[in-house]
Amino acid sequence: MEKELLEFIQFDVIYIRQGVSNNWTRRVERKAAATKEIGVPMVIIHHQDESVKDEKRVICTVNVKCDPLINDPNTFMVPEDLKPYEEEALQLTDKKFKKRHPEAEFTP
């Protein structure tokens, strides 16, 4: 029996505030886990008694639909192959992030 290939690739999008400004940097990291489910759960990293306006770091985990062969261990991939999926991960998480931090601006 052939192993079923998973249809989603999972990324963490990490937002880091620059000082006390509304400028944030973003970094996309592929997670090792692949999944069959879609979703954009948000994980908030903050210290006790820290308000939304004081948050320094936010991590969003997102599952992006992909070609199932990407999750096949026998498929050869180069980092450029993941670029379209990383861009989609940013688009999905930016929407959710901006609901929490509407004043945020992203710096390269």
pLDDT band for position 54 (cuts 50, 70, 90): confident
Residue 46 pLDDT: 57
Q: Is 87 helix (H, G, I), strand (E, B) or coil?
A: helix
Q: What is the pLDDT of residues 2-50, one digit of tens each?
A: 556 568 888 889 999 999 899 999 999 988 666 666 666 655 555 556 7
Please give the backbone phi and psi of residue 27, each rounded to the nearest 5 degrees, phi first.
Answer: -135, 135
pLDDT at residue 1 is higher than 50:
no
| Average pLDDT over the chain, rounded to an integer | 81
The domain ranges of the chain are 8-106
Rounded Cα gap, residues 92 and 28, in angstroms: 12
Beta strands in the chain (DSSP E): 8-17, 23-35, 42-45, 57-65, 105-106
Residue 58 · residue 100 · CB < 8 Å: yes
